[in-house]
Amino acid sequence: MKAEVPQYMMFYDRSEASKCLLCCDPVCSKACPQGADPGGMLRSLFFRNYIGAVRRITCNCTYCNAPCEKACVLNGKKSPVGIRNLMLQLTEDARVLPKSKIDKVDLSTDICGVKLENPFLLSSSVVASSYDMCRRAFEAGWAGVSFKTICSFPQHETSPRFSAIRHHSNAFCGFKNIEQLSDHSVEENMQIFEQLRREFPAKVIIASIMGQNEKEWSDLAAKCEKAGASVIECNFSCPNMEDDQLGSTIGQSEELIERFTRATKRGTNLPVLAKLTPNVADMVPMALAAKHGGADGISAINTINSITGVDIDTLVALPAVSGKSIIGGYSGSAVKPIALRFISDISRCEELKDMHISGMGGIEIWRDALEFMLLGAGSLQVTTAVMQYGYRIIDDLIEGLEAYMKSKGVSSIKDMIGGASGSIVNHQSIERDTILFPVFDYDRCNGCGRCYISCMDGGHQAIQFDLSDRRPILLGTKCVGCHLCRLVCSEKAISTAKKSIKRNPNTECTN
Ligand SMILES: Cc1cc2nc3c(=O)[nH]c(=O)nc-3n(C[C@H](O)[C@H](O)[C@H](O)COP(=O)(O)O)c2cc1C
């Protein structure tokens, strides 16, 4: 680790930490004879909160025979996580940790004037669907919840109702649900709100609602306000509804969005967010319709219409419910790029400048959160990562964000909102005349030749790979600077160019 690496970037290799199963009540921590928390350290590494990982090393592993590794639940089944080496490496890294530019940062922000102690809320879904769940989330450190969508019509759920696409590590890459709305009555949900408001006066309760007609939208908003909600969120975006004029059918019609937003505003003085569907080509007209109806902000994105896969033995799409399936909502890290695009579109629209944006869709770690904020989100919501890893991810979201801000010298999170918006330009304005050549670092290169294969079959045949010495060599006359080679390199041995040229087909470059 070199001293100039910023602290939020340190310890880049996650491969060993990603073996960790993130156990409940980690047995490795229980086994530590020095009372340290290796389980917490691994979790921080897993969620790329390097400073948090260092902070959790409160033991000296040099002469320890690592009972934590012996206790690891993987021991005997697969190889246990190499905790001791990770601890030693982190201890070493901690010695050259660069100094923070500032000591204190302020994560507090607001939704349309309603104060949030930090930008993180649970998004409306099963993760925020009962009193007990919200209480535990608040106690864990979440600033608020958008409660599971409240409606006055009965729900009829399927079993099973989820399916997932996984990374090699078993973590969800994308997640599909065919779940509907809250299965509590409106009255039961109002009692939950009253209790939460009494016991957690500083926490933000967003009431997600869905009506069947204008009167229901108004009435539900009024009831939620009376019961203690801080903000109303109109669910114009659930893709799993059985009837028209509900859920994402609304979010696809400017007329319905405007009409039902206006009806909601009639029922309440609270700020109103319109939660929009990504199942449209362009969300801006939909956000404008919400604004015309009186909305104070936009929540985005809800889930994306999807089929995650087909069981190739039974020939039924997933999840299979008595031999059939339906199109359902896709969420989780796979949808983040789509969510970011919609957030950016809305935040860059001049007419929507005064609207709050509550961003969501694939937020798992603090870097995801930061990216949403940099593109214009003022608050952040999470479901799928919590379904997978639990409320405890809030620790690493907060610590990771704080470490980044300290290292950059940014004292208030509000100063980062929209910080990257200006970097998105239209297709005509992007610079197209410079070629940045890739540069190979032969000390890091392991000679696998994947850059060569990709350049040969997916690029411009600009890499030579001699099988005798297994070193890639750039052919500058052929390289177009697409950087596919850099993206497939597992060793980070290819960097962005030190040399660049103004486009000229006759220019030569050698590496
Ligand atoms: C199981 C499940 C249930 C959901 N239920 C609701 C809901 O009742 N109301 C709503 O507005 N959004 C609902 N959503 C959408 C989420 O609030 C969120 O918009 C979406 O999942 C994207 O965020 P994520 O990638 O962090 O999960 C649900 C999502 C999931 C996965």
Q: For the segment 151-205, what is each residue's pLDDT rounded down to a tens digit? A: 999 899 999 999 999 987 789 999 999 999 999 999 999 999 999 999 999 999 9
Residue 275 above 90 pLDDT? yes
Greater confidence, 80 or 5?
Answer: 80
238, 479, 489, 509: the catalytic one is 238
Rounded-to-integer distance, Cα 123 and Cα 145, Å:
6
Lowest pLDDT segment from 34-38, 90-94, 337-341, 430-434 = 90-94
Residue 3 above 50 pLDDT? no
Q: Whose CA is nearest to atom 10 of ligand 1?
A: 124
Q: 302 CA to middle of ligand 1, Å?
A: 6
pLDDT in tens, 190-210: 999 999 999 999 999 999 999
332 within ligand 1 shell (Cβ under 6 A): yes
Exposure of 508 in the CB half-sphere (CA atoms within 13 A)? 1
CB distance 330 to 175 below 8 Å: yes
SS3 332: coil
Q: Whose CA is nearest to atom 2 of ligand 1?
A: 125
Residue 237 above 70 pLDDT? yes
Residue 278 above 70 pLDDT? yes
Report the pLDDT value the prediction gives residue 203, as an integer from 0 to 100.
98
pLDDT in tens, 453-468: 999 999 999 999 999 9
The helix, strand and coil proportions of the chain, stated in percent and rounded to the nearest 5, come to 35, 20, 45
Q: Whose CA is nearest to atom 30 of ligand 1?
A: 125
302 within ligand 1 shell (Cβ under 6 A): yes
pLDDT above 90: percentage of residues in the chain: 82
Rounded-to-integer distance, Cα 320 and Cα 80, Å:
35
Q: 387 CA to middle of ligand 1, Å?
A: 10
Report the pLDDT value the prediction gives residue 77, as an integer from 0 to 100.
81
Closest CA to 233 of 198, 199, 268: 268
Active site residue 68: no
Report the pLDDT value the prediction gives residue 9, as an integer from 0 to 100.
57
Mutation choice for ligand 1 from 272, 302, 330, 391, CB with most ligand atoms inside 8 A: 302
Q: 115 CA to middle of ligand 1, Å?
A: 23
Q: 124 CA to middle of ligand 1, Å?
A: 6
Report the pLDDT value the prediction gives residue 509, as an integer from 0 to 100.
46
Residue 507 above 80 pLDDT? no
CB distance 53 to 404 below 8 Å: no
Label residue 2 by pLDDT band (50, 70, 90): very low
Q: What angle do CA 169, 172, 176 make, to 5 degrees?
A: 155
Average pLDDT score, the chain: 93
Q: What angle do CA 201, 204, 205 make, to 5 degrees?
A: 100
Phi and psi, residue 298, nearest 5°:
-125, 135
Greater confidence, 15 or 490?
Answer: 490
358 within ligand 1 shell (Cβ under 6 A): no
Atom of ligand 1 lying closest to residue 233 CA:
11
Q: Which residues pair with 233 in a beta bridge?
A: 208, 273
- Which residues touch 402 (CB under 8 Å, ≥6 apart)? 105, 107
Atom of ligand 1 lying closest to residue 235 CA:
11
Lowest pLDDT segment from 13-22, 80-89, 97-106, 219-228 = 13-22
Q: What is the pTM of this model?
A: 0.95
DSSP conformation class of 273:
E
Letter for the amino acid at 379? S
pLDDT in tens, 335-347: 999 999 999 999 9
pLDDT in tens, 375-394: 999 999 999 999 999 999 99
Report the pLDDT value the prediction gives residue 46, as an integer from 0 to 100.
92
Letter for the amino acid at 270? L
Beta strand residue intervals within 61-161, DSSP E:
109-111, 114-116, 120-122, 144-150
SS3 265: helix
Greater confidence, 200 or 15?
Answer: 200
Beta strand residue intervals within 210-269, DSSP E:
231-235
Q: 360 CA to middle of ligand 1, Å?
A: 9
Task: Name all domains of the chain by residue range, CATH numbers in brackets.
Answer: 17-95 (1.10.1060.10), 109-154+179-307+332-423 (3.20.20.70), 434-502 (3.30.70.20)
Atom of ligand 1 lying closest to residue 363 CA:
26
Letter for the amino acid at 288? L
CB distance 386 to 123 below 8 Å: no
Closest CA to 99 of 5, 230, 163: 5
Atom of ligand 1 lying closest to residue 126 CA:
3
Label residue 15 by pLDDT band (50, 70, 90): confident
148 within ligand 1 shell (Cβ under 6 A): yes
Atom of ligand 1 lying closest to residue 129 CA:
8
CB distance 249 to 130 below 8 Å: no
**What mean pLDDT comes out for the span 264-277?**
98
